[in-house]
Amino acid sequence: VAPSEARDRMLLPLRGSNFGGWTRLPPRQSAPHLPRPLTGQRQAVLSLAAGAVTRLQKHRMAGYGSQAPPAAHQEVPNLDADRLALLKKHGIDLEAIEPMGAKVVGFDLKKPNPPGEILEALQLEMAGRGFLVFAGQGVLSGDEQCSASELWGGREMHSTHGVHPEAPNKHIFRLSNNPSVGINGVGPQWHNDGSFEVGVFSHVGYHIVQVPKGKGDTMFAHQGAAYDALSSEKQERWSRLVSVNATSGVLHPMVHAHPISGRRSVYLHLGMTGGVLEKAKDKDEFRLMEETELTNLFHEYNDLLNAGLPQNGGKYAISYQYQQGDCIFIDNLAIAHKASPEAHQDPGKQGLRILHRTTVKAMKDFLPGFGLPARATRELLRAADEAAAGKGVFVAGGLGFRWDPTIRMQN
């Protein structure tokens, strides 16, 4: 069922052994409602109040999640001297971009089979600094960008997007501020790509094909440094939170240990999260957060990442302005990103912008921890709503919970 067809219905948008797809639930008079400005949105609001914790069918699953020990880090790490020396021997220079990221000079993405020690060094720097800009690449063909993407992470394309008629192949997500040229308006809020998957994309590539005359930035925020910026009390509470994806029911931890660096990092998709589960401190029980709690949490997360921008006095976020020939690769579990407002402006005022995105298969599943399944089950959500006294909120499909009705959201 498409999100547009889910209007004014109580739906459970989950997949599992007990149900396949969307299941209609009877409306309840006690069901909580979202704020009045949302009443016209094409969303379905779910409040479940049945079952008990003893009915919860848990699946003990290994994976990196909320229970990993904290790592002692501050802000964004410096480039590693040994890796810089190794790359220099191969004629590759790595220059820090402040406050995060790095520029790679002397590495041709079009050349096949680069040495493994080079790829390892670059991927480790990507995990630490968040992203690498491979400068001066010219215009890569679709196949060349896919080959370059498969140098990282799971080393295989994982493409789930719509394909624009102008895209060079099915793996290229072609984005533009001109809808006839590419898909417009995508990703205006902080997010990580592939959050609807159990295995969230390990790495993402952004190749600028046409740089606009005005600004057309992508904004990046370091999620490890963002975690460090939290108070100890908030670190503890957020480490007990698990997001529920609005379109697939996939569960992801709000705090996790990064699979490469091991660094404690925050994680939340601000445009596709339907609800959040909170684990009790002293018992093995989860509750769905209530409307006001969700609104506050999403605003706090948004403010946290925005606070990392230099203009806000931070040192862990950046608005990167593309140069012709740039191809950026990001570690998709180290940093969040969003399109700058200017990226979607009318090409008549801004100039034409064309960006090709590629997504890489996960290195491992991104599991919620706490013995929870990879996807939410009917029993889990029912028990979690009962623990919330029937006030838990889950918004099904599409954009998920609308935490700010005044802002634009699009996936």
pLDDT tens digits along 104-115: 999 999 999 999
Confidence of residue 398 (pLDDT cuts 50, 70, 90): confident
Give per-residue pLDDT as tens, 224-255.
999 999 999 999 999 999 999 999 999 999 99
pTM above 0.75, yes or no: yes
Q: What is the pLDDT of residue 74?
A: 57
Are 98 and 108 in contact by the 8 Å Cβ rule? The answer is no
> Residue 37 above 80 pLDDT?
no
Q: What is the pLDDT of residue 411?
A: 77
* Structure tokens belonging to residue 141: 């063909």
Average pLDDT over all residues of the chain: 85
Q: What is the pLDDT of residue 214?
A: 86
> Residue 26 above 50 pLDDT?
no
Q: Side chain identity at 188, as an amino acid letter? A: P
